[in-house]
Every structure is written in C-alpha cells, then in structure tokens.
Structure 1
C-alpha cells in the first residue's frame, strides 16, 4: 500500500479532536489494549509528554496477534501533516520494518504470534544505527538515515495508519490483537535497560510515552481490559 500520501492539516486536527474523546491521565498500568476486529475506524491516539522532535529514540511495546503472516499490520504510526515521521510495520512477508519520511528498512525477526512478544526499536541520528530487540535480544544493526531528525507536532496512532484523507483508513492494514506496556524515550537505552524492561523490572519512565501515566484517546472498537 502507498504510505507516503500527503495528509491535510485538518486531518491531523480531526484525529486529535474529532471523535468521542476518552482521555485517561492516570495511564494504563496493569491494562492491555484489545483491538478485537479488523476495522477502518478503530484506533488509539496517544498524547506525548513532550514534543517529538527527535534525533534518537527507544520505542518498546508488548504485542500479540493472530493475524496470518501474509497480512500487513501497522504497529505504530506517527505522522505530521505531510510525512510518515515514524511508522513501524509487520510486512506481508512477516518481516518487521520501520519508516521515517520515505523509504524504510526491513528486519528478519522471530514471528509475532498469539503469545505476547516484547518488541523494542532503537535508532540514533548521529550514527544512523538502528536495531530491533525481541525478548531482550538485539537484531543486527542496520544504518538508516544518519543525520535525520524526526519532526514534532504530529499525531501518534495505534491500530491504524493515517496516510489517507479523512475517512480513508484501510482495514487491511489495521492492527488486530493486543498491545500493552508501550513506552518511548528520546534516547537509546542500554542493553541492560532494555533487558530490564523486557523482564518487567523497574526502569526510568519513558519521557515521551510512559504506559503508567500517559494520556490517550480511544476511537471505535478498542477495549481497555485488565492485564491478567
């Protein structure tokens, strides 16, 4: 699917304010987001704790899905008015990729399944070094867009890819399954910190997104349930 189409500023504002708003400033501690059905309207908008003008980041989440490996899935989408600033995908061949304002890079990782996987992504502009971490283990590094800066003032969505005009979200790219414990930092965490997060040990709170305290907005058939 085409992922680089322009998006009018109005759409960004509509995503933020144009649906029934459910803001939870107390966060999602001990909760999981359940996306039970394939739709073109169910998503969660995340409100960052600071502007996302980034030259480095660590993004972590726990994810489970029963969608077949030949089904493309959006795992994380951050978009400004004209660009996909940071999109994370499972591709149709089962590989996992991420894109920043143009062509992306693809990694061969263990498959996402019905059992929860801890998944992290790290990148820094200075060297361009990028890697995924699965169950606390790092993939090989790839060099991707050294010198690049992720732009601020966009919209972060879970469950859908906002690369279309208003109302044009695609069900065939939507996420179906469970997400939890999403955290994001504006730096590359060390191996020991990522492994500590994987095992559920205490780590510094994400200063962009912290699962325990972040605000979010629900739209459509997304459920917030106890993480038992």
Structure 2
C-alpha cells in the first residue's frame, strides 16, 4: 500500500477477510471516518470494472463521494453522486455524468467500466447499462496512490469535508483491471458465480478503518 501520513494510519490493519454478507456502515456525517483499501500491487490501469452495492438515505441535492483513488498530486479516479442526483466518473479532472436512479435505503448495485483504448465508459445500475460515453482515450491511471471509502481527500489522505462524506452502507466491492462482459456484470449483480476480482475482492479484502465505521 502507498505511504500515508503517519498521524492518519489506524492502529489495526485487517488483512484478507471474507466480508460476504457484511457491509461497511458509515452511520453519520463526519470528516474523520473512512476506510482505506490495501493494494497488493500498485494500480497502473488502462481499463477497469468497479462494482459495489450502495445504500444511503442522503438527499439527492447533496453531493456524496462513493469511491476515491488519489495519488500525491491528483484525484486519479473518483465516483460521485452529484448535487442533482446524477452519477459521475472522474479520471483526474475530466469527468462524465450519467442520469440514472439515485441511491436509496434498499441499496443499488453500481458498476463503472472504462477502457483507455476507446475511451468507452458506462454506468451499470442493478444490472442495466446506461448509454455509453467517452472519457480520456489513451489515458492511464497512475500508481502510488491510496483508495478511500467514505471521504474525498483534497490532499493525500487528508483535507476531508463533512458535507461530501458518505453516510450509509457499502458492500460487495469488487474491482478488475479490465472491462467485464455484460453477461459477467449481470452475474456480479445477481451474486452468481463470477471470476475472482484481481484488484479488490469482497471475499478476500484487506482494509483499515478509521473513526466511526462499523463492519457487520
């Protein structure tokens, strides 16, 4: 895992646990609670599929960070629900926006796909694909960063804003270094048999919790 500010490192590192049936629960709006996901290998991506199940009762007129990957100088890969309820994927500065059903208390299964070769990107919600859009063809996501759930770091693992924090539950987090086929994304949504994720796998996840984050 990339180096982080010493004062921010939690005392305990949880290694390679099977979280099947569990969730990261963020019960309140804070600027101190988050989860850091440990990387076995530095990210250096030209494509990815990121999937997670998210439940939240936050108002759609409040922006909320769903996934943040930041290197020392840049927000490399961020997924947001925006003020107007749209979902966004940002790779460094440029982003694309999708008008899809917003988060709710029952949970939404979300997958984001991106391929550098074509720039094709799409958002999948509960197994249904959005229109395809184009984002940064030829771009590569840089290594030596840190992945955070629950907060948006405006500096390297710091400068959090309470009004952007995630409140709710995140579970079934998987990430691959390639774009999954539509039939495999359907299997991930239905929680049927699918290929093991080679970046993050919810059934073998290493993570660190700081602040008021409950795992159950």
TM-score interval (norm. to shorter): over 0.9
Distance 2:17 2:94 in 1: 37
Distance 1:122 1:165 in 2: 25
1:215 matched to 2:190? The reply is no
1:88 matched to 2:79? The reply is yes
1:140 matched to 2:131? The reply is yes
- Aligned counterpart in structure 2 of residue 153 of structure 1, from 116, 119, 144: 144
Gaps of 5+ in 2: none
Report what 2:165 is aligned to: 174
Question: Over aligned residue pairs, what C-alpha RMSD do you find?
Answer: 1.7
- Aligned counterpart in structure 1 of residue 91 of structure 2, from 92, 95, 100: 100
Q: How far does the alpha carbon of each residue in 1:185-228 deviate from its partner, in whole angstroms, 9 at most, with x for none?
A: 00000000000010010111110000010100000000001xxx
1:40 matched to 2:20? The reply is no
1:185 matched to 2:176? The reply is yes
Distance 2:47 2:70 in 1: 17
Q: What SS does the aligned partner of 1:197 have?
A: helix
2:69·2:145 contact (CA, 8 Å) conserved in 1? Answer: yes
Distance 1:15 1:130 in 2: 36
Distance 2:93 2:162 in 1: 22
1:60·1:121 contact (CA, 8 Å) conserved in 2? Answer: yes
| TM-score relative to the length of structure 1 | 0.90
1:24 matched to 2:15? The reply is yes
The 3 A distance-change label for structure 1 pair 15 and 213 is farther
| TM-score relative to the length of structure 2 | 0.95
Q: How far does the alpha carbon of each residue in 1:59-106 deviate from its partner, in whole angstroms, 9 at most, with x for none?
A: 000000000000110000000000101000000000000111112111
Distance 1:78 1:15 in 2: 18
Deviation of the 1:18 alpha carbon: 2.3
Report what 1:78 is aligned to: 69
- Aligned counterpart in structure 2 of residue 119 of structure 1, from 102, 105, 110: 110
Gaps of 5+ in 1: 1-9
Distance 2:162 2:98 in 1: 24
1:16·1:155 contact (CA, 8 Å) conserved in 2? Answer: no
1:59 matched to 2:74? The reply is no
